Amino acid sequence: MLDTRRMPTPRWDAAAGDAPLSPKPQMTDESHKPFTLGTRGSELALVQASTTEAALQKVFPDLHIARCIIKTTGDRRTDVALADVAKAEGIFDKGVFIKELEQALDEGSIDIAVHSLKDLPTVLQARFALAAVLERAAIRDVLVTRDDGGFDALAPGARVGTSSVRRAQQVAFLRPDLLVVDLRGNVPTRLHKLTAGDHHDAILLAEAGLVRLGFLPEAPLTYGSEPIPGMPGLFAHRLDEKMFFPAAGQGAIGLEIRATDERSRMLAQSIGHPETWLRITAEREFLRLLDAGCHTPVGVFSSLVNGTLHLQARVFPETGGSPLTAAANGTDPLGVALSLFQSLT
C-alpha cells in the first residue's frame, strides 16, 4: 500500500485556480504578533524572502513581518564539493542548506523557513512540515558559456562547472566528451568564476535563479543563446526540460513550518499556489518512492494541462549504465507518481 503519511495532502482544488477552497483567512487579533521569516543570506535567498514577505503583506497588510538571516552549513563549507559536505558534517541529504533553519524553527526564533524547494530533503522530520509553495518560476537549467552556441559550441574536453550530481550525470550522458568540474558559490560568484575562465569553460545554473536575480528576462528575447546583461562575454542557453531534465521542485519556493504551528500554516497557505503544489507533490512523491535524496541523480518534471498532470523522469541507476526514462499522467499527483515509479521497475 502506498504510504502517503510523509507527504503533505493538497488542500486546494486544482479546478479552483489560484483560490483556496476556504474563504480568505482572517488574522483577527493576531496581526500585532510578529511573524519571523528565516532565510539564507545569499542574493537569491534574500530575493525569495522578499517575494514571500510581499505576498504575505498583500494578504495581511497589518501583519508585522521580521526577517532573520541564517548562515547554513552549506554556505559555510565551501572548501569541499557540495556532494561531500553532508558526509564531512555528518548531515543527511541536502540538509546542509536547511539544518540551521530547522534549528531556528525548533527554538522558536523563526516561524517559517523560506527555501529553494529543490534544497529541501524529500522526507522531512515529523516535527516539520512543508506548508505551501509559491507560484513556480521557470524549471529549466541554463548552460552559460563564454561563446555563443550552447552545448554544440563546446569543444571536446571543455570544462563544465556544476555542484549537482544530477547535472553532472546528464552532461556525461549527453556529451561524454566534456569534463565536469566542481563549482561552488552563489549565482553571481559562479558567473564571475566563468568570466575569469581559469577553471571553467561553461557552467550550469537554474533558470529561475537567473531570472529572479535579473540576469535573464522571464521570456527569452531570442532563440538559442542570449547575452547576459551586466556580464559581458557570457551567453545563456535555456535547456529544454525534455532534453536536460530539471530537479524535483526546481523553480519553486517552499515554506517550511513547525508541524504543530497552525498560525504559520494558515499564513503560508494563504499565499500558496495550488497548481504548483499539485506538481511538486507529484515530483517529491516520485523521489520518495525511489528512496532518492537530493544528491541522487534523478531528473523529474511536471506540467499541468487542462487539469491533467503530466510527469516525466530520467533516473540514473546506481550501478551505472544508461538512464531510465519514463512518463505518466493523470489527475491525482500521488497516483501519477506511483504510475511513473511502477513504469521504471
Q: Which residues are catalytic?
A: 119
Q: Show the CA angle centred on residue 36, arms to residues 32 and 39, nearest 5°.
A: 160
- Helical segments of the chain, H only: 43-59, 73-76, 82-89, 99-107, 165-174, 187-196, 207-212, 262-270, 274-290, 333-344
Residue 167's contacts (CB-CB under 8 Å, 6 or more residues apart) are 141, 204, 244
Of 138, 200, 194, the residue nearest 171 (C-alpha): 200
Question: What does the alpha-carbon distance between residue 268 and residue 112 come to, in Å, rounded to a whole number?
Answer: 8
Q: Do 27 and 63 contact (CB within 8 A), yes or no?
A: yes
Q: Please give the DSSP secondary-structure letter assigned to residue 40.
A: -
In this structure, what C-alpha cell is assigned to residue 106?
525548533
The pair phi, psi for residue 36, each rounded to 5°, is -110, 125
